[in-house]
């Protein structure tokens, strides 16, 4: 893959996020700069507390940086209103979490319909879209099961289907295999790789599993104490 | 996300916590129930009184008096206006004035108001009462168009009278009335009191005894020397046929024509009696023969009141009408309604605190869910709206059942009150009234209060930090 021909999709410049509690300040992210190009599979690795999830939340627009900028598809996220940030999460990115974060009282299909509702999909079309999304992750037999009736792998596949509901260009995955056994982990990773290769969806994945990162990533960003110590292409 | 989606999410959230939702709604139900039953008591009182006013055409009638009376100063205890009335040259209310008033197109009926005191004798019983001189035209007006029995006289010179039910009762004649249950004391029973049908009174003769200046004294002031009695007053007895009995007065009846006996105009003219007939005559020392102390005027419609009044006042006469007092009465009711409403609102405010409490609990339980919604693109306004819909629903359902509760409570209270009133011989009343404005007002008020209670929780929910919320258990 020639990087020169690819336009940068996400530009992170001198990004810092400092948490301050009473008189103590904790720099979760410190002066981080990197680029992610369209269709890249990027892994962020590092130990617990190295600032991986904070970085992901900043790109998702769930958190605001203390300083520095994120230019997402040409738009400066620092200048976005809270409503614009909600639209960013709704249409531009899809999120996958270690703990799945499905709404427990809603069935698999209802969790996806909720995301479609936020996306403004007409009521009539939601059900068929949700069914085809669940079919694409191999869960058409589990449509009406509640999250606690699903296995970890199944729940994460529902989460992937939900992340894809509004056709995002970027998927932000926060330790997507962290709660899964190795066989299920491989299934999930294959699914993400497939999305990346076949549908050119940019993937930014946080993981502490170096091996997984190395097998699937175009780029690995290694964080330590909030700073990038190494970038591998 | 459409409003329907938001409504569905709100409802499903309330359904998930059914018991808590039901208890919160119950708080609103009690609040609205208290508020509406309180206010409906105020509106009920107002309705009873204004209805009675209307029934007796008090809004369309006025009294013309020989002089202007400053009623406000009299109400404030300043009676100097009354003495002025006696000093000032009065405006004599003569037959020609009466004709001028009758000629005003908006005037429906006008006649001099005259009553006199008399003693009546019927079936060996005697009673002092007052006799009102009434034109035959009054047969078309309430309450004289709806007598208990018999009919109103249709000739001004007939020797027939209409007797009030109360007068007969005071005479010990208990005329059957389907709305009244007599309760005889032991003493009554000993006297042989029985209930009789109105037919046994109608057509019977009644003696009316009036006091008058003894004509002999006037003709011969020294008659006492010739052995005549010194008493300058004489008694005069005349016999009349009872042709009608008026209905019993109920508690809200402000029949301003209350009298024991109603007598035709020409018939009354021929009865010798003392020449003062009303309180105005006593005050008005200048009253001359052939003039009236007061003329009763009824206008065709309520809007003509001011015009007719101005026309009569322009002649120099005084005008008094109950309608003038309406503003004062309305103000009084407004104060009463506000007070009752304020008491009722306390319950609703407590209910509102219940809503706030429930919502905050709900946010705490749903923190993670709110975080997820934000992570998948839910905006602050959408999350706010979800909570608003929940609050509004609590308010709406609370208002509907609250109105039901208020209605039920007032029905029961009314039953209890009437159960006390009926044995006392009072006509059953409906003390409570739910006008449309109260029903809709209670609905709107309940929803507004609920939304206000939901405001803070909704803002709080919308401002939840999604990063923390997603870590929340």
More confident residue, A83 or B220: A83
Q: Which residue from B minimizes the CA distance to A116? A: B1
pLDDT of residue A1: 36
Instruction: Name the residue ranges covered by the structural domains of chain A.
Output: 39-62+81-232
Q: What is the pLDDT of residues A48-63, one digit of tens each?
A: 889 999 999 999 999 9
Strand ranges of the sheet holding A24-37, from the earlier edge strand across to the other edge: A24-37, A8-21, A67-72, A75-76
Give CATH for domain A39-62+81-232. 3.40.50.300
Contacts of B381 in chain A (CB under 8 A): 83
User: Phi/psi zone of residue B121: left (φ > 0), alpha (ψ -120 to 50 degrees), beta?
Assistant: beta
Vertex A75 angle, CA A70 and A79, to 5°: 75
Tens-digit pLDDT profile for residues B131-183: 998 888 888 877 788 888 898 998 888 899 999 998 998 888 888 888 777 77
Helix (H) or strand (E) holding B281: helix B279-283
User: Dihedrals φ, ψ of A31, to 5°?
Assistant: 50, 60
Q: What is the pLDDT of residues B309-347, one digit of tens each?
A: 888 888 888 888 877 777 788 888 889 889 998 988 898
* Chain A touched by B17 (CB under 8 Å): no
Subunit contact B376:A91, Cβ cutoff 8 A: no
Which pLDDT score is estimated for B220?
60
A101 and B4 in contact by Cβ < 8 A?
no
Of residues A82, A89, A123, nearest to B376 (C-beta): A89
Predicted local confidence at residue A16, as pLDDT = 94
- Measured between beta carbons, the chain B residues lying within 8 angstroms of A118 are 1, 373, 376-378, 382
b vs e for B54-69, b when ≥16 Cβ sit within 10 Å of the residue's Cβ?
eebbbbbbbbbbbbbb
Query: Which of B9, B379, B467 has the CB atom closest to A86's CB atom?
Result: B379
Tell the burial category of A176 from Cβ atoms under 10 Å away from its Cβ (0-12, 13-18, 19+): buried
Residue of B nearest to A53 (CA): B467
pLDDT at A123: 93
Window 152-171 of A, Cβ < 8 Å to B: 162, 165-166
Instruction: State the pLDDT at residue B213.
Output: 64
pLDDT digits (tens, 9 = 90+) for B279-290: 455 455 445 556
Report d(CA B130, CA B141) in Å as an integer.
21
- Model confidence at A5, pLDDT cuts 50, 70, 90, reads very low
**Closest Cα of chain A to B365: distance in Å?**
12
Q: What is the pLDDT of residue B247?
A: 86
Contacts of B354 (CB under 8 A, 6+ apart): B23, B24, B27, B28
pLDDT digits (tens, 9 = 90+) for A123-149: 999 999 999 999 999 998 999 999 999
Q: Does residue B76 carry a pLDDT above 70? A: no
Average pLDDT score, chain B: 83
Please give the Cα distance from B348 to B447 (Å, whole number).
Answer: 11
Cα(B416)–Cα(B412) distance, integer angstroms: 6
Cβ within 8 Å of B, A 85-124: 86-87, 89-91, 95, 97, 101-103, 105, 114-115, 117-120, 123
Is the pLDDT assigned to residue B233 strictly greater than 80?
no
The rounded radius of gyration (Å) of the Cα atoms in chain A is 18
pLDDT at position B304: 85
Cβ contacts below 8 Å, chain A against chain B, sum to: 66
Residues 131-160 of B with CB under 8 A from A: none
pLDDT for the residue numbered B318: 84
Average pLDDT over residues B256-267: 86
Instruction: Give B196 or B53, the one with higher predicted confidence.
Output: B196
pLDDT over threshold 80, residue B426: no
End-to-end CA distance of chain B: 26
pLDDT confidence band for B274 (50 / 70 / 90): low
Least confident of A37-41, B70-74, B415-419: B70-74
Query: CA–CA separation, B403 vs B29, rounded Å?
Result: 8
| Confidence grade of residue B88 (pLDDT, cut at 50, 70, 90) | low
Interface residue B12 vs chain A (CB under 8 A): yes
Query: Which value, in Å, is the radius of gyration of the alpha carbons in chain B?
Result: 34
For the segment B379-407, the average pLDDT, to the nearest whole number, is 94
Three-state DSSP at B38 gives: helix
Q: What is the mean pLDDT of residues B93-113?
A: 87
Residue contact B4–A123, C-beta within 8 A: yes
| Percentage above 90 pLDDT, chain B | 34
Which of A59, A95, A101 would best serve as a mutation to test chain B binding (most B beta carbons within 10 A)? A101
Higher pLDDT, B250 or A135: A135
Q: Do A86 and B378 touch (CB under 8 A)?
A: yes
Q: How close A97 gets to chain B, by Cα (Å)? A: 9
């Amino acid at each position: 893959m020639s990087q020169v021909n690819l336009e940068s999709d996400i530009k992170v410049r001198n990004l810092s996020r400092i948490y301050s509690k009473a008189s103590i300040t904790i720099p979760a992210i410190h002066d981080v700069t990197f680029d992610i190009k369209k269709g890249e599979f990027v892994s962020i690795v590092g130990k617990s507390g190295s600032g991986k999830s904070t970085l992901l939340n900043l790109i998702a627009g769930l958190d605001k940086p203390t300083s520095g900028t994120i230019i997402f598809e040409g738009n400066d996220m620092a200048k976005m209103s809270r409503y614009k940030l909600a639209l960013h999460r709704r249409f531009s990115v899809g999120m996958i979490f270690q703990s799945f974060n499905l709404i427990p009282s809603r069935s698999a299909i209802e969790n996806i319909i909720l995301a479609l509702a936020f996306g403004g999909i007409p009521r009539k079309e939601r059900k068929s879209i949700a069914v085809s999304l669940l079919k694409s992750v191999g869960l058409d037999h589990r449509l009406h099961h509640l999250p606690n009736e699903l296995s970890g792998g199944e729940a994460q596949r529902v989460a992937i289907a939900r992340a894809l509901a509004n056709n995002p260009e970027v998927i932000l995955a926060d330790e997507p295999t962290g709660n899964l056994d190795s066989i299920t982990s491989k299934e999930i990773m294959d699914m993400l790789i497939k999305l990346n290769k076949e549908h050119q969806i940019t993937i930014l994945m946080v993981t502490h599993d170096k091996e997984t990162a190395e097998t699937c990533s175009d780029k690995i960003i290694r964080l330590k104490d909030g700073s990038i110590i190494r970038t591998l292409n | 996300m459409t409003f329907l989606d938001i409504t569905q999410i709100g409802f499903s959230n309330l359904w998930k916590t059914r018991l808590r939702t039901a208890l919160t709604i119950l708080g609103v139900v009690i609040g609205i129930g208290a508020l509406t039953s309180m206010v409906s008591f105020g509106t009920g009182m107002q309705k009873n009184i204004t209805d009675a006013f209307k029934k007796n055409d008090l809004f369309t009638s006025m009294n013309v008096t020989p002089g202007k009376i400053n009623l406000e100063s009299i109400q404030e205890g300043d009676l100097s206006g009354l003495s002025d009335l006696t000093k000032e040259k009065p405006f004599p209310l003569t037959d020609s004035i009466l004709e001028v008033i009758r000629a005003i197109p908006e005037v429906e009926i006008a006649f001099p108001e005259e009553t006199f005191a008399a003693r009546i004798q019927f079936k060996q019983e005697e009673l002092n009462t007052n006799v009102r001189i009434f034109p035959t035209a009054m047969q078309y007006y309430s309450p004289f168009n709806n007598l208990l029995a018999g009919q109103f006289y249709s000739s001004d010179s007939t020797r027939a009278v209409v007797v009030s039910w109360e007068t007969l009762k005071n005479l010990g004649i208990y005329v059957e009335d389907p709305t009244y249950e007599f309760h005889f004391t032991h003493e009554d029973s000993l006297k042989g009191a029985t209930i009789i049908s109105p037919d046994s009174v109608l057509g019977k003769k009644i003696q009316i005894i009036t006091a008058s200046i003894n004509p002999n004294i006037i003709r011969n002031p020294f008659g006492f020397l010739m052995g005549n009695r010194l008493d300058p007053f004489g008694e005069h007895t005349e016999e009349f046929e009872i042709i009608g009995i008026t209905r019993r007065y109920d508690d809200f009846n402000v029949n301003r024509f209350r009298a024991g006996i109603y007598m035709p105009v020409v018939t009354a003219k021929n009865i010798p009696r003392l020449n003062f007939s009303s309180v105005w005559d006593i005050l008005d020392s200048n009253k001359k023969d052939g003039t009236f102390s007061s003329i009763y005027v009824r206008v065709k419609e309520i809007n003509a009141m001011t015009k007719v009044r101005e026309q009569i006042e322009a002649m120099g006469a005084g005008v008094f009408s109950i309608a003038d007092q309406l503003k004062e009465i309305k103000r009084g009711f407004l104060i009463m309604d506000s007070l009752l409403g304020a008491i009722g609102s306390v319950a609703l405010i407590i209910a509102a605190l219940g809503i706030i409490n429930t919502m905050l609990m709900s946010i705490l339980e749903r923190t993670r869910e709110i975080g997820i919604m934000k992570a998948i693109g839910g905006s602050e306004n959408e999350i706010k709206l979800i909570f608003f819909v929940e609050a509004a629903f609590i308010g709406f359902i609370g208002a509907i059942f609250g109105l039901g509760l208020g209605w039920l409570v007032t029905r029961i209270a009314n039953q209890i009150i009437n159960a006390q009133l009926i044995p006392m011989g009072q006509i059953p009343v409906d003390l409570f009234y739910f006008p449309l404005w109260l029903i809709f007002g209670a609905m709107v008020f309940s929803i507004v209060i609920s939304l206000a209670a939901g405001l803070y929780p909704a803002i709080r929910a919308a401002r939840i930090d999604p990063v923390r919320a997603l870590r929340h258990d």
